[in-house]
């Protein structure tokens, strides 16, 4: 068991291994997040722990097409109000733009380590998810509610969230984003599955 007292003595930005059947107390969770400590489960192959999405998110890349301008503005204010560095990578134009371009901009920022997570937005969110997933190392999921957002992170290791500007309200979008960013991926069985996704990705380029 990892208690708050245990968490307080860990180095900032360090990584620890949680043994099978191990438990982290709620207060310890908060302390680990504040100290930006990554927790991986025992049984993950060496090197595969890096496949898990960043748990302590500090930087978010946001990009969307012309249908998403109001939602992007609202989310940028929301994220910055939470103390996160939120970068708008959308084109600086009032003209219509194509979702593959905007989704790729945010997805590349995540894949290259310039952002801990990404949010891509178009009318329905589907096109942006498809486009973002073409960038190696990106796992994008289109989510309509907080439950899907949590599953996308915890079970599927999503590092990019896709939203449909015409499908969710501003309040719903904030709730979905908060759930996505707050959910870590820790279980070894889920991380092992990400290794299989990586294999599929590599084989597709052979």
pLDDT of residue 10: 83
Taking the chain (206 residues) in consecutive chunks of 10 residues, what is each chunk's mean pLDDT?
Answer: 83 69 77 77 57 88 95 97 96 89 97 96 97 95 97 93 97 98 81 81 71
At 164, give phi and psi (nearest 5°).
Answer: -105, 110
Domain with CATH 3.40.1400.10 in the chain: 59-182
Q: What is the rounded CA–CA span in Å between residue 1 and residue 163? A: 37
Q: Which of 22, 24, 35 is nearest to 188 (CA)?
A: 22
Burial of 124 (0-12, 13-18, 19+ CB in 10 A): middle
Q: What is the rounded CA–CA span in Å between residue 127 and residue 124? A: 7
What tokens appear for 174 in the block? 């904030």
CATH (one of 3.40.50.150, 3.40.1400.10, 1.20.81.30, 1.10.600.10) for 59-182: 3.40.1400.10
pLDDT of residue 135: 95
Beta strands in the chain (DSSP E): 15-18, 38-41, 59-64, 85-88, 117-122, 140-142, 160-164
pLDDT of residue 44: 52
pTM, to two decimals: 0.75
């Amino acid at each position: 068991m990892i208690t708050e007292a245990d968490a307080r003595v860990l180095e900032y930005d360090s990584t620890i291994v949680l043994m099978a059947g191990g438990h982290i107390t709620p207060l310890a969770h908060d302390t680990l997040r504040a100290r930006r400590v990554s927790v991986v489960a025992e049984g993950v192959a060496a090197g595969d722990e890096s496949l898990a999405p960043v748990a302590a998110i500090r930087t978010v890349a946001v990009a969307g097409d012309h249908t998403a301008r109001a939602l992007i503005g609202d989310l940028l204010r929301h994220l910055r109000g939470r103390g996160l560095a939120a970068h708008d990578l959308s084109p600086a134009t009032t003209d219509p733009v194509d979702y593959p371009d905007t989704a790729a901009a945010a997805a590349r920022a995540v894949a290259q380590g310039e952002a801990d997570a990404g949010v891509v937005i178009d009318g329905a969110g589907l096109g942006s998810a498809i486009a973002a997933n073409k960038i190696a190392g990106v796992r994008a999921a289109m989510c309509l509610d907080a439950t899907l957002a949590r599953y996308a992170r915890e079970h599927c290791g999503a590092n990019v969230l896709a939203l449909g500007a015409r499908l969710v309200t501003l309040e719903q979008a904030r709730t979905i984003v908060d759930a996505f960013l707050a959910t870590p991926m820790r279980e070894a069985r889920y991380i092992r599955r990400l290794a299989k996704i990586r294999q599929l990705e590599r084989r597709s380029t052979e």
